[in-house]
Structure 1
Amino acid sequence: MRISVIGTGYLGATHAACMAELGFEVLGLDVDQAKIDCLSRGELPFHEPGLPELLLKHIASGRLRFTTSYEEVGAWADVHFIGVGTPQKAGDNAADLTYVDAATLSLARHITKDSLIVGKSTVPVGTARRLQQLVIKNKNDGVDVGFAWNPEFLREGFAVKDTLTPDRLVVGVDNPDAEAVLREVYATALAANTPFISTDFETAELVKVAANAFLATKISFINAFSEVTETVGGDIRTLADAIGHDTRIGRRFLNAGVGFGGGCLPKDIRALQARVSELGLERTMRFLSEVDEINLRRRDRVVFLAEDMLGELAGKKIAVLGVAFKPDSDDVRDSPALDVAARLFSAGADVNVFDPEANTNAAKRFPRLNYVNSTVDAARDADLVILLTEWAEFKALAPTDLDDLVRGKRFIDGRNVLDMGVWQDAGWDITALGHRHVGQK
Structure 2
Amino acid sequence: MSVRIAIVGTGYVGLVSGACLAELGHDVICIDNDPAKIDALNNGRMPIYEPGLDELVSRNVKRGTLRFSLDLPASVKGREAVFIAVGTPSHPGTDRADLRYVMAVAEQVAPNIDAFTVLVTKSTVPVGTNREVQRVAERCLAPGQSFAVASNPEFLREGSAIEDFMHPDRVVFGTDSEAAAAIMRRIYAPLAQNGYEVLATEIETAEVIKYAANAFLAVKISYINEIADLCEVVGADVDRVAAGIGLDRRIGAAFLKAGPGWGGSCFPKDTRALKATASEHIVPMRIVEAAIEANANRKTVMFDKIEAACGGSVAGRRLAVFGLTFKGQTDDMRESPSVGLIQMLEQRGAKVRAYDPSRPAEAARMLPNIGIAATPIGAARSADALVILTDWKDFTECNLGELSDYMADPVMVDLRNLFDEDAVRESGFRQYVRIGRKTVGERRAPGNERRAPRTRVPLAVPSRHVHDKARAEARSTVEASEAV
TM-score of Structure 1 vs Structure 2, range by shorter chain: over 0.9
Which residue of structure 1 lines up, in the alignment, with residue 442 of structure 2?
A: 440
Question: Are 2:294 and 1:290 equivalent residues in the alignment?
Answer: no
The offset of 1:167, in angstroms, is 1.7
> What root-mean-square deviation, in Å, do the aligned CA atoms of Structure 1 and Structure 2 show?
1.5
State the distance in 1 between where 2:190 and 2:365 align: 40
- Is the contact between residue 430 and residue 439 of structure 1 (CA under 8 Å) also seen in structure 2? no
State the distance in 2 between where 1:134 and 1:265 align: 28
Deviates more, 1:334-343 or 1:424-433: 424-433
Which residue of structure 2 lines up, in the alignment, with residue 337 of structure 1?
A: 338
**Structure-2-length-normalised TM-score:** 0.88
Deviates more, 1:6-15 or 1:32-41: 32-41
Q: Which of residues 93, 103, 106 is equivalent to 1:104? A: 106
Q: Which of residues 155, 161, 167 is equivalent to 1:153? A: 155
Provide runs of 4+ in structure 1 moved above 3 Å: 396-399, 424-427
Which residue of structure 1 lines up, in the alignment, with residue 191 of structure 2?
A: 189
- Taking a change above 3 Å as real, the CA distance of residues 28 and 427 of structure 1, as seen in their structure-2 partners, is closer
Within 5 A, what are the aligned runs for 1:38-117?
A: 38-117=40-119
The offset of 1:210, in angstroms, is 0.6
Deviates more, 1:209-218 or 1:39-48: 39-48
State the distance in 1 between where 2:415 and 2:188 align: 40
- One-letter identity of the residue aligned with 2:174: G
Which residue of structure 2 lines up, in the alignment, with residue 254 of structure 1?
A: 256
- Is the contact between residue 342 and residue 369 of structure 1 (CA under 8 Å) also seen in structure 2? no
Unaligned runs of 5+ in 2: 444-484
- Is the contact between residue 322 and residue 376 of structure 2 (CA under 8 Å) also seen in structure 1? yes
- One-letter identity of the residue aligned with 1:233: G
The offset of 1:255, in angstroms, is 0.7
Unaligned runs of 5+ in 1: none
The offset of 1:402, in angstroms, is 2.0
Q: Which of residues 36, 51, 55 is equivalent to 2:38? A: 36
- One-letter identity of the residue aligned with 2:377: V
- Is the contact between residue 427 and residue 440 of structure 1 (CA under 8 Å) also seen in structure 2? no
The offset of 1:170, in angstroms, is 0.7
State the distance in 2 between where 1:352 and 1:42 align: 32
Which residue of structure 1 lines up, in the alignment, with residue 356 of structure 2?
A: 355
- Is the contact between residue 331 and residue 358 of structure 1 (CA under 8 Å) also seen in structure 2? no
Which residue of structure 2 lines up, in the alignment, with residue 428 of structure 1?
A: 430
Q: SS state of the match for residue 5, structure 1?
A: strand
State the distance in 1 between where 2:437 and 2:296 align: 18
Deviations 1:305-364 (A, max 9, x none): 222122332221100001111111000000012321222122211111000004432223
- Is the contact between residue 398 and residue 423 of structure 1 (CA under 8 Å) also seen in structure 2? no
The offset of 1:427, in angstroms, is 5.0
Deviates more, 1:199-208 or 1:106-115: 106-115
Deviations 1:263-301 (A, max 9, x none): 0011100010001111121x2x12212201212222212
Question: Are 2:312 and 1:315 equivalent residues in the alignment?
Answer: no
- Is the contact between residue 309 and residue 413 of structure 2 (CA under 8 Å) also seen in structure 1? no
Within 5 A, what are the aligned runs for 1:211-226?
A: 211-226=213-228
Q: Which of residues 195, 201, 204 is equivalent to 2:203? A: 201
The offset of 1:398, in angstroms, is 5.4
Which residue of structure 1 lines up, in the alignment, with residue 10 of structure 2?
A: 8
Deviates more, 1:407-416 or 1:20-29: 20-29
State the distance in 2 between where 1:359 and 1:186 align: 33
Which residue of structure 2 lines up, in the alignment, with residue 306 of structure 1?
A: 306
Q: Percent identity?
A: 40
- Taking a change above 3 Å as real, the CA distance of residues 309 and 165 of structure 1, as seen in their structure-2 partners, is closer
Q: SS state of the match for residue 80, structure 1?
A: strand
Deviations 1:347-383 (A, max 9, x none): 2111110000044322232121100011111111110
**Structure-1-length-normalised TM-score:** 0.96
Q: SS state of the match for residue 314, structure 1?
A: coil
State the distance in 2 between where 1:370 and 1:26 align: 42
- One-letter identity of the residue aligned with 2:381: R
- One-letter identity of the residue aligned with 1:302: M
- One-letter identity of the residue aligned with 2:298: R
The offset of 1:172, in angstroms, is 0.2
Which residue of structure 2 lines up, in the alignment, with residue 162 of structure 1?
A: 164
- Is the contact between residue 5 and residue 27 of structure 1 (CA under 8 Å) also seen in structure 2? yes
Within 5 A, what are the aligned runs for 1:111-130?
A: 111-130=113-132
State the distance in 1 between where 2:94 and 2:36 align: 30
- Is the contact between residue 424 and residue 440 of structure 1 (CA under 8 Å) also seen in structure 2? no
- Is the contact between residue 330 and residue 358 of structure 2 (CA under 8 Å) also seen in structure 1? yes
Deviates more, 1:81-90 or 1:295-304: 295-304
State the distance in 2 between where 1:161 and 1:309 align: 39
State the distance in 2 between where 1:348 and 1:60 align: 53
State the distance in 1 between where 2:31 and 2:230 align: 50
State the distance in 1 between where 2:271 and 2:73 align: 36
Q: SS state of the match for residue 430, structure 1?
A: strand
